[in-house]
Structure 1
Amino acid sequence: MIHIEKVINKRQLKSFITFPSNLFQNDPNWINPLNIERLEHFSKKNPADDHIEWQTWLAKKEGEVVGRISAQVDSLHRGLYGPDTGHFGMIDAVDDPEVFRLLFSAAENWLASKGARKITGPFSLNINQESGLLIDGFDTPPSAMMTHGKSYYSARVEQQGYTQGIDLLAYWMRLAELQFPPSLAKLMDHARKKVSIRCLNRKKFSEEMEVLRQIFNSAWQKNWGFVPFTEHEFAVMGDQLKFLVPDDMIFIAEIDSVPVAFIIGLPNINEAIADLNGRLFPLGWAKLLWRLKVSGVRTARVPLMGVKIEHQFSRIGPVIALLLIEALHAAFGKWNIEALEMSWILESNAGMRNILEKIGAIPYKRYRLYEKQL
């Protein structure tokens, strides 16, 4: 008999966070997130808590956890898309249709009680955090802040009446194979007369974070499911970037001294924590610091990139993106980065996909965002 348990205390939350480590224990591509980070994610320390109300559940069978799910209501999302929206997320479970049915029933009943009728997901906790259900690419580990999953998840989710909203793609690129075809190189040389690329100015870090936030919110505002980053969210992100990202992995593009685009390269923290099993103590901190600051990691991810909307459909817009990628490539070489993931890219973003594929990147993972009308 399967029992659904609402998470209401720290003991249950710990079970919620650690369940995937048991579920994926025989998966060589599973990387356990840091437990302390996951605990903060589901606490007031998560800046998204300012505008998201959430609840989580566990599924138990004979006293053992066999599944989990979350449900969220985002006031910022509702302000843009209507007061009847809601989301699900953090879905992990054994391959049992009844477990999935009961978990989704609990999440949907809670969402309905909050006035939600249009459900999208999975998000953890919104689209600016971990998003999407892995559909293809199970044979490689996830990069930092990307999700993993089981191959049966998609079928089980679709059995609950969810259909494809949109797919997200992750591109993989080996730095040694990056090349700019002559036609693109010519456009880039011409654009250099107008566009300047600079590193982030750490002496004005908070002001620079606000510049990046404004660019991102402009660049992504027309994308599927867009929710703007708040000042609080970007400030907290900035605190993390100070620790994780060297100054020369954040670049800003300017035209006439006005910022118009940016790119961030993030050393792949998943590579650094792969053998820590989610624990920083007693020696995990020392290992993590050594790997990030001394021995280095060999892979990276580009989690954020944007060109202001007024330039996206101009002739120079795509070239600005190429100039930023070129600048980041040089920085990665300095830090001995050998390969990177660029993610995520909306499947419908033909322009960016075309750019990436022309310079040698290949799509290697696919994630799906689902939707359902209650």
Structure 2
Amino acid sequence: MSAQEIDIVPVSGKRELNEFVDLAYRLNEADQNWVPPLRAEVFELLTPGKNPFHEHARMQLFLARRGGKVVGRISAHIDELALAQPPEQGMGPGTGNWGLLEAEDEAVTHALIARAEDWLREQGMTRVLAPISLSIWEEPGLLVHGHDHPPMVMMGHHLPQYQGWIESAGYETAKRLLTFELPVAREFPPLIQRIVASGEKNKSIVVREADPKEFARDAAIIIDILNDAWSGNWGFVPFTEAEKAYGAKKLKPLIKPGANMIAELDGEPVAFMMALPDVNAAIKPMKGRLFPFNWIKLLWWLRNPRADFRVPLMGVKRRLQNSRLASQIAFMMIEYIRRYAVSAHDAKRGEIGWVLEDNKGMIAIADAIDSKMNREYRIYSKAL
């Protein structure tokens, strides 16, 4: 059918919001590798007053209808903190976003993107980076490689046809985001073991577990290192204090002390690495619903998950980046987390990412531990 028969309407009430959320479950139901998110989490993501992203963002959700049937959805949003970033780092003045795209076909996709672009122009934007759903820290990019296996915790999964539909709407690749997987049950290569052993002899280096009894303190340390380490990265947007508290609260049930490391150099925290058990494996059969009994299953799983682990975040303070010491500390943290995940949780796989395509240091570390790229996401750009 033609685009003229597609009606794009803004989400303005509870009924439309429910339709917006429901559509993803219908369109992805046949994809065995899609992990249905918990519905309560999706509503929280989209609700001002619950998700602190909305404290510094403007957002409009849209639905596409054809013949009265919902056939697509999209969000258009502007992050005020992203507008304040240097343009050479990807964001900057005039840059808006769209995301949460789901559509039955190419015509619907084009109609939704066009409406999101119109809204961004109306808000004064001159450029779009997409898809970003909703913050750069949540699920940025479109999956273009790795559709043959489910995503791990906090990673997106999209129908393969979306790539062609988006690119045919005039979008070009702005940045590639990569993830790397490795079998963790086997030891790292001898060279890496020697580097770790050498670091353990250096009395200036202390790598410790995050302390659950001092969760707030260590969460603040990690965020402060992250803001420093990533501040020059493409796409960086700083966390607000509200987002720090919110993120710590959301992640606390997944935090396992032996999988989260803080490295100190002469007593100063200079690096961290966070690994999370893959809760997606637990929630996948739940089809988005915790009630009536799935919440019991999830609580039981969280107590002692037998799970693979993903490293979503790591950082080394900028003054140490690109140094041999930084690489050594990174290898030490990875090795300690690997040992813990295997011994305590029977992990078989690890995943690191996402990693910016031009982050040569992190890609070199991934290569050194014999990991392989398993997923690629793309963020696209277009002038408005």
Note whether the superposition's TM-score is higher than 0.5.
yes
Q: CA deviation at 1:291?
A: 2.0
Contact residue 170 and residue 345 of structure 1 kept, 8 A? yes
Equivalent residue letter for 2:330: A
Deviation at 1:341, TM superposition (A): 1.5
2:24 counterpart of 1:16: no
Residues 322, 361 of structure 2: 8 Å contact kept: no
Looking at structure 1, the residues matched to 205 and 240 of structure 2 have their Cα atoms a distance apart, in angstroms, of 28
| Structure 2 counterpart of 1:248, one-letter code | G
The Cα shift of 1:176 comes to 1.7
**SS of structure 2 residue aligned to 1:146:** coil
Counterpart amino acid of residue 33 in structure 2: N
Shift in Å at residue 261 of structure 1?
A: 0.6
Per-residue CA deviation, residues 175-223 of structure 1 (Å, 9 max, x unaligned), is 12341332x3333333330311001122322221111111101111121
Normalised to the residue count of structure 1, the TM-score between the two structures is: 0.96
Other structure's SS at 2:189 match: coil
Distance in 1 of aligned mates of 2:24 and 2:350: 26
Deviation per CA, 1:302-330: give whole Å up to 9, x if none: 11111111111222111111111011112
Aligned to 2:163: 154
Contact in 1 for aligned 2:178/2:375 (Cα 8 Å) = yes
Q: Does 1:133 align with 2:142?
A: yes
Is 1:203 matched with 2:213?
A: yes
CA contact (8 A) 1:58 1:69 kept: yes
CA contact (8 A) 1:168 1:367 kept: yes
- Give the whole-Å Cα distance in 1 for the aligned partners of 2:318 and 2:189: 24
After TM superposition, the structure 1 = structure 2 runs for residues 53-202 of structure 1, keeping only pairs within 5 Å, are: 53-80=58-85, 81=87, 82-95=92-105, 97-182=106-191, 184-192=192-200, 193=202, 194-202=204-212
Does the CA contact (< 8 Å) of 1:177 and 1:360 recur in 2? no
SS of the residue corresponding to residue 36 of structure 1 reads helix
User: 1:231 Cα deviation (Å)?
Assistant: 1.9
Q: TM-score scaled by structure 2?
A: 0.94
Partner of 1:275: helix, strand, or coil?
helix
Q: Aligned match of 1:30 in 26, 29, 34?
A: 34
Say whether residues 1:258 and 2:273 are aligned partners. no
1:26 deviation in Å?
1.2
Q: Say which SS state the counterpart of residue 251 (structure 1) adopts.
A: strand
Of residues 172-181 and 55-64 in structure 1, the stretch that sits farther from structure 2 once superposed is 172-181
Which residue of 1 is the match for residue 368 of structure 2? Answer: 358
What do you get for the CA RMSD once the two structures are aligned?
A: 1.3
Distance in 2 between residues matched to 1:218 and 1:178, nearest whole Å: 31
Q: What's 2:294 paired with?
A: 284
Q: What letter matches 2:13 in structure 1? A: N
Structure 2, unaligned runs of 5 or more: none
Q: Deviations over 1:126-150 (max 9, x none)?
A: 2111111000111101111111111
**Separation (CA, whole Å) in 1 of partners of 2:310 and 2:52:** 22
User: Does the aligned pair in 2 maintain the 1:181–1:359 contact within 8 Å?
Assistant: no
User: In the aligned structure 2, how far is the partner of 1:248 from the partner of 1:10?
Assistant: 42
Aligned to 2:236: 226
Taking the aligned partners of 1:178 and 1:136, their CA distance within structure 2 comes to 27
Letter in 2 for 1:175: V
CA contact (8 A) 1:261 1:308 kept: yes
Q: Does the residue aligned with 1:168 lie in a helix, a strand or coil? A: strand
Hey, what's the Cα distance between the residues in 2 that align with 1:141 and 1:203?
A: 33
Is this contact kept in 2: 1:171–1:343, CA < 8 A?
yes
How far apart in 2 are the matches of 1:180 and 1:352? 17
Aligned amino acid, residue 162 of structure 1? Y
**Partner AA of 2:64 in structure 1:** A
Question: What is the aligned partner in structure 1 of residue 320 from structure 2?
Answer: 311
Percent of aligned positions that are identical? 39
In structure 1, what residue type is equivalent to 2:346? N
1:58 aligns to what SS in structure 2? Answer: strand
Query: Matched residues in 2 for 1:177 and 1:364: separation?
Result: 19
Partners in 2 of 1:37 and 1:146 — Cα distance? Answer: 14
- The 3-state SS of whatever aligns with 1:31 is coil
AA paired with 1:37?
E
SS at match of 1:40: helix
Aligned to 1:42: 46
Deviation at 1:351, TM superposition (A): 1.6
Which stretches in structure 1 are left out of the alignment for 5+ residues? Answer: none
Q: When the two structures are aligned, how many residues end up with a matched partner? A: 371
Decide whether aligned partners of structure 1 residues 22 and 229 sit closer, same or farther in structure 2, where only a CA change above 3 A counts. Answer: same
Paired amino acid for 1:149? H
1:268 aligned partner: 278
